[in-house]
Amino acid sequence: MIKVNIKCNRIIITGHANYADYGKDIVCASVSCIVITSINACLRFDSNSLVYKEEQDKLTIDIKSNDDAIRLIIENMICMLEELAKTYDKNIKIVKEEDR
């Protein structure tokens, strides 16, 4: 299962959807497409808007900008992931942690 953990200005995406065989998994491909496109859009607006780190089965995004355009891109990314999770609830889970 892919887990998307959202807390303040950090998003951590881990795991594999296990919807289909590796390389043929439409859920993993969808998540990758949504996230990579969103990261690239943010960086085109402002190359310092976020920092991301790719590791095996883990992607961490630290959002550094409060710009409205960047905020909207990230919100749109989260909305698209939430829509995907509604359809594939056994393959992707989104957790939003509240700041304390």
Nearest to 33, CA basis, from 89, 69, 81: 81
CA distance 33 to 45: 18
We report the CATH number of the domain holding residue 6 as 3.30.70.1490
Question: Looking at the predicted structure, is the pLDDT value of residue 83 above 80?
Answer: yes
Q: Which two tokens stand for residue 29?
A: 């491909």
Contacts of 12 (CB under 8 A, 6+ apart): 3, 4, 5, 58, 59, 60, 61
Q: pTM of the predicted model, to two decimals?
A: 0.92
Domain count of the fold of the chain: 1
Question: Looking at the predicted structure, is the pLDDT value of residue 99 above 60?
Answer: no
Encode 28-54 in three state secondary structure. HHHHHHHHHHHHHHHHHHCCCCEEEEE
**54: domain range?**
2-97
Determine the residue type at 72. Answer: L
Q: How confident is the model at residue 93 (pLDDT cuts 50, 70, 90)?
A: very high
